[in-house]
Amino acid sequence: MPCLLCASRNQEEFGTEINVHFRGIKNIDNPGVLFFPKVLVCLDCGASRFSTPQDELLRLAGHAATRKAAARECNITGAVLRRKITFGA
């Protein structure tokens, strides 16, 4: 399969180590998700691609779902507080 950017067939597969870190100060102690995919690198333009293994994908998705739930809870709490302040409760 040719490179998606430059259409070159001069590509090579390499073993890698990738550690996905989660943003924000609240994740300072979170080690992230470490996995070891093979990366296909175009030796002409440098474009690279890889697929995230299923187990690690589930861990990333679980963290994303937890962050979304926390954000929703924070929004609800903020809305309740604003309402109490507005109505003097």
**Which of 12, 8, 34, 9 shows the shortest CA–CA distance to 21?**
34
Domain locations in the chain?
Answer: 11-87
pLDDT in the model for residue 62: 85
Q: Mean pLDDT throughout 2-13?
A: 97
Q: If you ran DSSP here, which 8-state letter would residue 23 be given?
A: P
pTM of the model: 0.60
pLDDT in the model for residue 30: 86
pLDDT tens-digit map of 9-65: 999 999 999 999 888 888 888 888 999 999 999 999 999 999 988 988 898 888 776
